[in-house]
Chain A
Amino acid sequence: MKKETKSKKTPFSIEAKFPADLSVLAFLRNGVYNLLKQKPEIGEKLARRAQVITDELCTNAIQHGSEKNGEIQFTLEYIKDKKSSEEGEIKITVKDQGKEKRKTRRNQKIHGRGLKIVQSWSDKFKTTKTKTNGTKVQSTIKTPNS
């Protein structure tokens, strides 16, 4: 009987913890874009979409999932299929520490499009609660764009 082997490998995986502060957003999203655009099989369009997904998920985690002085955990993975030189996936995972729920009034004309954009551009999208009452969200984009 043949032993099952993993068919996927990780060309890179980056994990970062950063303070829940909006001032880190540009550095983080532009870093993701600059890293991914270097891979020709990913291309400009998907690198740009990963930039937006990073920004929207981290913004949500900072604003809705973190107390002041809280921390966000961010992971970017690029996983390639061993059988194909081009096919693979980009995984973006954002984990917050959770915060006490407060009712806030938001102008619905202005807010509410971020997650819709993320879901539209993700091939897989999942949200789970962490043990510490935080939220973990993960977006997966398949490459190349089909």
Chain B
Amino acid sequence: MTDAHITIEDIASTDAQKHVKLVAISGQLDESNIDEKSQEIYTLINQNPQGLFLIFDFEKLEYMNSKAIGYLTDWYGKVTEGGGKIGIAKAKQNITDILQVVGLTQLISLYANIDEAKFAVLGG
């Protein structure tokens, strides 16, 4: 199985209704690991069905395949259904390129750094 790691951290929020998480993904997401790795995010969504705000830190994400993009789209649907939001920070150029070609950047915004993503996702 290809190497990939997900770490999830809480981000403090002044609004008790908002559950804000920083999700850092490193390594390469492909067909050999994405089904298993995606479960960590589904668990997070199931634990916070309402008001979940996810900021993905892609600084150390080197590769993602089309199925990983499929999961990201599904997470977007579930999170927004529950009144939350998703933002992506620090994506490498090859990740940005693949997100753009499938049109996902029209749904999920990309940010240069975590602070910018936090500010935009949490509404300033």
Query: What is the number of residues of chain A that contact chain B, defined by CB distance less than 8 Å?
Result: 27
The secondary structure that dominates the B interface is helix
- The contact string, 1 if C-beta is below 8 Å from chain A, for chain B 88-100, is 0000011001100
State the CA gap A45–B102 with chains docked (Å). 16
Q: Contacts A29-B63, A45-B97; is A110 near B31 (CB within 8 Å)?
A: no
Our pick among B65, B70, B71, B93 for the contact of A56 (Cβ within 8 Å) is B65
The secondary structure that dominates the A interface is helix
Residue on A nearest B95 in the bound complex, by CB: A48
Our pick among B31, B65, B67, B77 for the contact of A52 (Cβ within 8 Å) is B65
A99 at the interface (CB under 8 A from B): no
Residue on B nearest A108 in the bound complex, by CB: B70
Interface size class of B (residues with CB under 8 A): 20 to 34
Q: Contacts A29-B63, A110-B67, A113-B66; is A59 near B74 (CB within 8 Å)?
A: no
- A-B residue pairs, 9 tightest by C-beta: A110-B70, A114-B66, A48-B94, A113-B66, A22-B32, A26-B2, A59-B31, A109-B74, A120-B101
